[in-house]
Chain A
Amino acid sequence: MRLVFEQGTIAIRGDSTIPHTQWDDRTGTNRALGFRYQDIQAYLTNSNIAYEDDVLNLIPSPELTNDISLRPYQQEALDRWVTDCCGVLVLPTGAGKTYVGMGAIDWVNAPTFIIVPTLDLVDQWREELSCFDIEIGEYTGREKQLKPITVSTYDSAYNHAERLGNRFKLLIFDEVHHLASEGYRQIAELFASPYRLGLSATFEREDQKHEALSELVGGKIYEIETDRLTGEYLSEYSVERITVDLKPDERAAYEENVKIFRNYLKSADITLRGPQDFRKVVLRSGNDPRAWRAVRSRNKARKIAYGSASKLEELAALLRQHQDDRLIIFTRYNDFVHDVSDRFLIPGITHKTRKDERRRILERFREDTYSAIVSSQVLDEGIDVPDANVGIILSGTGSSREYQQRLGRILRPSGGAARLYEIVSSGTGEIRTSARRKG
């Protein structure tokens, strides 16, 4: 009997019925998904069946050690993981998840593949991993270089799982809640890597899909609350909500567009309870001119509410008030980042910003040449921004996860209390999303 890795699956030559496998007529072998590798090994060993194991083809690797020292809670988390070499660790943003991951690599001391949601995080991980003193690989849309430690995105890992699935012993999923989506789940299924670590600040998903992960990564084995770290490791902060009124002309345009949208909902007998219901309207817009106009109006209304001139005026006031502070301004829309950047001459970062310019901006922010930056969603998850003590949210969608992580951005232990402002337009749908978010 012989086990071979074939494009995300384990092909088993030789007869014998093995759990989790299925006969494949196309190749005349038995076949199982990659992640069953360990189960199959265990089964064969326990049944005293001799087999040749050609599954893993690990990237040749030197010793992978570093000499970082972990904080007590980080060490505690790592110790918990080491017991089974699988499972999810939940640590708040800013608590140094990356360090726990590096601790795991050091412990396993074998080729490791790290999967993160965004290219920003790829850059950040690579930078941190430089303490291993070897060249760190990257497998993404922009670069494909495999090294004993390689960082990739969920998208690239999904696209190339069948090629990479047997090259690494340890898989690290950063922001592991992403893995729960139906598509990304297949990354974990197609990789044969026996060791798996999930990291997250917010493991529980509203759709409960995270429960599906336990078979693929292991369940939650450690969690530490933000409260336990606040003070010593994370700074305290206060939140202030500022409500602004739309300009009269904005208000008129807003009301008009909302009316078109609402009238359509009423006539089509649709009640909006969540994004699902809205998608229904979008679906209809292909055949129904009124649905199409409704969607257009709704988008216009949203844009008015998000990009209101009153918000920019309020922002100007806040900027004057915080001349001597270090500010990070968030907005969800790239266009709005541009508007803020252009009007206030504040460097802006979106996912379109070129890598070198982004690096320059963050560098100059760090050295205090710039005292403010404005950014869209890109900074949502873990990009290592230099410390700031004032955050201003100009818009948001209102999921609890996003809110928490945005906060985490400025909760860097920089001493002194951090302040967070949230500027919302009154009398618009936005109030509702923001309130939902807080609850």
Chain B
Amino acid sequence: MLTKDLLQVTKQAPKIQPQYRDIDEYQVIAEQVLEEYELGKTRGQISKRVSELETHKTFKLVRGLSELLDRRAAFEQQYSIEPVQLREALFERGFVTSTEERQHVLSDVGDEFNLSINEIENDLWADRAEQEVLVSVPDVTSRELLRQYNLSLTQTLLFDAVELEFTASDNFQEIFGLISYLGLMYTVAEDLTVTVTGPASLLKKTRKYGTTLAKLVPSIMKAEEWDLTAKIQTEVSDETRIYEFALDSHQGKLFPEEKAVESFDSEVERDFATRIRSLVDGWSLNREPTILRSANRVMIPDFSFERDEDEFYLEVIGFWTPEYLEKKLEKVRQVESRKPMLLAVNESLNCTKTDFATANVEQVFFYNDQIPLKPVLTRLQAIDERTTEQDVKLLRERTVDIRRDEVIDIQSIASAQHVKPSAIEQYLTETYEGIHSNGKFLPKPVVDEMRAEIEGIESATLADVNPILDTYGVGQDVLCEIGYTINYTSLNQDEAEITKTT
């Protein structure tokens, strides 16, 4: 954040926008400012040199960059005798009114401290900020500095915000944790846009929460995708007006690149995620995937399992205080979720299923030390079976025609029919004669044709039939299905003879 006088905006009613600085275009200026922070220089020297870099177009930028750098640099007072002590010694000799008198007093005090007049002059004000010496150069690149600058401009603009709206694709725990930590309040629209205000905002349009709202910005920007809008109150020739500010992740390259990292509330959750990840082939496991509305709060489910159109949530209720549990139950009871939700509840909480009787959840299961995988896996399987079954039923109603004289690609029919591949497989098996291999279906006429080709080769080896299989796009597993045995004598496919299964 910067001081307000360093904020530059462009206004075009009703829009307001800080003057962001393009990283490539202004890198040179940032570098110039950065270079002035040389070890051993005093604050005063640095700020004088920096101010010489200012032009009418860049003076606020230059000062802003310098303000950010001052915060990252370390300065130190350097002297041999405490300046305060020296001053006291000088001042107690009474004020002087001429240069000669002053020299006289200085040399008198110099004798006392065993310092020359020059040394006294050096140390006398060494505790003033201007004379502090740079001892640690700011650890930042010019590009990072500019990104930080753009972020700070955004935050500074928000000092005058009366309201902030945002959406984010992730990092919810951090964002909402911060909202409540900062004592702000929010509402969530059906499209999951969050509007943040302060308690008193309801009763008067106030900028009081502006600086607090500004603190949310870095956390929102850590999401993969985000967008924010704010109402900014400013005075235009003594009149108070509201401007609109809008920004989203398409302009993300102007801002710090830090992204949210996956984190877990507890070891139990981490452990669960690790174990189940390897077992849920085809499904993606997402940590805190979204926010859900629940009365006038949000609920952030711990996990979601997602594949194509199917998604469900898993919320873990671990060991917490009674108040926390009560709140959680309230949230679960009122959650507005279009997707099913499972609850894993720690047994030691002494809840029973009836506690969740009215909750908007599919299934509740309990755990002790480890969240069991089985209920989740069973559910995944059930979804698989259920949807396959539903899809097959659908296909039967539609009666899907296929060509019998060519290899059928399961996936492309599945996509065309908007059903699961497994449903196509099942439907084809029950409707047509033929075999499956490698995501392909070979209708009987094609199988016959292929078999004829194989039979055309005398004492065929695996190496001989491979090209044939390739032209049909199927695997070696087909050979067994159509009545051949592969007789391996070594790993060499040239020596593996293909014979008819008897």
The residues of A with any CB-CB pair to B shorter than 8 Å are: 6-9, 22, 24-28, 31-33, 158, 162-163, 183, 186, 189-190, 276, 285-286, 288-289, 291-293, 316-317, 319-320, 338, 342-347, 352, 357, 360, 364, 369-372
- A-contact bits for B201-224, CB 8 A (1 contact / 0 none): 011101110000000000000000
Q: Are A6 and B199 in contact (CB under 8 A)?
A: yes
Residue B281 lies at the interface, judged by CB distance under 8 Å to chain A: no
B187 to chain A minimum Cβ distance, whole angstroms, is 5
Q: Which residue of A lies closest to B60 (CB)?
A: A286
Partner among B57, B97, B295 whose Cβ is within 8 Å of the Cβ of A320: B97
Complex: chain A residue closest to B19, CB-CB: A286
Q: Which residues in chain B, 343-386, are within 8 Å of chain A measured between CB atoms?
A: none
Distance of A277 Cα from B190 Cα, bound (Å): 47
Q: For the complex, give the distance between the alpha carbons of A360 and B96 in Å.
A: 20
Instruction: Report the separation of the CA atoms of residues A189 and B208 in the bound assembly, to the nearest whole angstrom.
Output: 12
User: Are A357 and B95 closer than 8 Å at their CB atoms?
Assistant: no
B102 interfacial contact with A, CB 8 Å: yes
Chain B positions near chain A (C-beta within 8 angstroms): 8, 55-57, 59-60, 84, 87-88, 90-98, 102, 105, 124-125, 128-129, 183, 185-187, 197-200, 202-204, 206-208, 238, 295-296
| Cβ contact within 8 Å between A347 and B183 | no
Q: Which of B56, B198, B206, B296 has the most CB of A within 10 A?
A: B56
Q: Which residue from chain B places its CB closest to the CB of A289 in the assembled complex?
A: B56
Q: Contacts A31-B202, A186-B200 known; A345 to B95 CB distance under 8 Å?
A: yes
For B198, list chain A residues within 8 Å (CB): 7, 162
Residues on the B chain within 8 Å of A357, using CB: 84
| Contact A286 B8, CB 8 Å, known A338-B125, A343-B102, A364-B92 | yes
Q: Pull 27 A–B residue pairs with CB atoms less than 8 Å apart, ordered by A.
A: A6-B199, A7-B199, A9-B199, A22-B203, A26-B185, A27-B296, A33-B203, A162-B199, A183-B208, A186-B200, A189-B200, A190-B200, A286-B60, A289-B55, A289-B56, A292-B56, A292-B59, A316-B98, A342-B124, A344-B96, A345-B94, A345-B96, A346-B91, A347-B91, A360-B84, A370-B91, A370-B92
A360 to B89, CA, bound (A): 13
| 8 extra interface residue pairs, beta carbon distance < 8 Å, beyond A289-B56, A352-B128 | A7-B183, A7-B200, A26-B186, A26-B187, A26-B197, A189-B204, A345-B105, A364-B91
Question: Is A31 touching B92 in the complex (CB atoms < 8 A)?
Answer: no
B185: chain A residues at CB < 8 Å are: 26-27
Instruction: Return chain A residues, CB-CB under 8 Å to B200.
Output: 7-9, 33, 162, 186, 189-190
Chain B residues near A352: list those with CB within 8 A: 128-129
Are the CB atoms of A345 and B93 closer together than 8 Å? yes
Q: Are B183 and A344 in contact (CB under 8 A)?
A: no
A345 touches B90 (CB 8 A): yes
CB-contact partner of A183 in B90, B207, B238, under 8 A: B207
Instruction: Name which residue of chain A comes closest to B93, CB basis.
Output: A345
Whole-angstrom CA separation of A276 from B237 in the bound complex: 9
Q: How far is the CA of A158 from the CA of B198 in the complex (A)?
A: 14
For B102, the chain A residues whose CB sits under 8 A away are: 343-345
> A27 — which chain B residues lie within 8 A by C-beta?
185, 296
Q: A22–B202 contact, CB under 8 A?
A: yes
Q: How many residue pairs at the A-B interface have CB separations less than 8 Å?
A: 101
With contacts A344-B97, A347-B87, A347-B91 taken as known, whether A186 is within 8 angstroms of B208 at the C-beta atoms is yes
B17 to chain A, nearest CB (A): 14
Taken together as a complex, chains A and B put the C-alpha atoms of A143 and B417 apart, in Å, by: 69
CA A3 to CA B246, docked complex, whole Å: 38
- Which residue, A317, A342, A345, has most C-beta atoms of chain B within 10 A? A345
Least CB distance from A320 to B in Å reads: 5
The chain A residue sitting closest to B295, CB to CB, is A28
Q: Which residues of B contact A289 (CB under 8 A)?
A: 55-57
Q: Which residues of A contact B204 (CB under 8 A)?
A: 33, 189
- Do B296 and A25 touch (CB < 8 A)? yes
Residues of B with C-beta under 8 A to A320? 97
Q: Chain B contacts of A372 at CB under 8 A?
A: 95
Chain B contacts for A288, CB-based, 8 A: 56
Q: Which residues of A are found within 8 Å of B183, using beta-carbon distances?
A: 7, 162-163
Q: Across the A-B interface, give the 10 residue pairs with the lowest CB-CB distance, nearest first.
A: A292-B56, A289-B56, A7-B199, A316-B97, A346-B95, A9-B199, A344-B95, A347-B91, A26-B185, A319-B97
Kindly state the separation between the CA atoms of A155 and B107 in the bound complex, as whole angstroms.
45
Q: Could you tell me the distance between the alpha carbons of A22 and B84 in the complex, rounded to whole angstroms?
A: 57
Residues from chain B with a CB closer than 8 A to the CB of A342 are: 124-125
Q: Which residues of B contact A317 (CB under 8 A)?
A: 97
Compute how far the CA of A319 lies from the CA of B101 in the bound complex, rounded to whole angstroms: 13
Of the candidates B56, B96, B208, the one whose C-beta lies within 8 Å of that of A285 is: B56
Q: In the complex, what residues of A have CB within 8 A of residue B88's CB?
A: 360, 364
In the bound complex, CA of A276 to CA of B208 (Å): 24
**Closest A residue to B97 using CB positions:** A316
Chain A residues whose C-beta falls within 8 Å of the C-beta of B55 in the assembled complex: 289
Q: A369 CA to B97 CA in the complex, in Å? A: 18
Report the minimum CB–CB distance from B105 to chain A (whole Å). 6
Least CB distance, B249 to chain A, in whole angstroms: 27
* Contact, CB under 8 Å: A31 / B95: no
B95 & A158 in contact (Cβ 8 Å cutoff): no
The answer to whether B199 and A338 touch across the interface, beta carbons within 8 angstroms, is no
B251 to chain A, nearest CB (A): 21
Measured CA separation A432–B128 after assembly (Å):
33
CA distance A26 to B97 in the complex (A): 68
Inter-chain CA distance A347–B83, complex, in Å, is 12
Q: Chain B nearest CB: distance from A325 CB in Å?
A: 12
- Are A25's CB and B187's CB within 8 A? yes
